[in-house]
Amino acid sequence: MAPTACLLLCLCLFLGGGRARTTEAPKTPGKCHLEGTWVNELGSRMSISALDGEGRFSGSYLTGVTASQNPIRTSGLTGAQRQGAQPTFGFTVLWSFSDSMTVFVGQCFVSESGEETLETTWLLRETVPSHSEDWKATRVGTNTFLRLK
């Protein structure tokens, strides 16, 4: 074997660890469905209805946390979902017990084991008495929801 060919073979074996590499095709996750009941890490629960033909849905949201002094009550939500196996979506909750509303945007992911997860980011806007207090009117956060079985 020529010295150059030997050097190339040795380099390939060294970089490859001396073993043949195989590549497995990535597993295709199942399709994510928003319809159903979900719970997040704070104990908030939401129920989402079936999507209509244009991807719109409605439902209810019972928060596990609040800054309001009022008793927590279930609130309505409305939203829409894009098409796809792991779709993006957004929805608005108009809180029934406070002068605020929250908008959520997120994506539904399906793991290789079939578990569905909703990863969301939200903005909560509450009413403030004056423009000078606008600076404290909006909060931002994230939540992860798992399907309640």
- Phi first, then psi, for residue 104 (nearest 5°) are -115, 140
pLDDT of amino acid 68: 80
128: Cβ–Cβ under 8 A, 6 or more apart, which residues?
Answer: 134, 136, 137
pLDDT of amino acid 67: 81
68: Cβ–Cβ under 8 A, 6 or more apart, which residues?
Answer: 95, 97, 98, 100
The tens place of each residue's pLDDT in the chain, 149 residues long, gives 555 444 444 444 444 554 444 444 445 567 888 999 999 999 999 999 999 999 999 999 999 888 888 888 999 999 999 988 899 999 999 999 999 999 999 999 999 898 999 999 999 999 999 999 999 999 999 999 999 98
**Domains of the chain with bracketed CATH:** 27-147 (2.40.128.30)
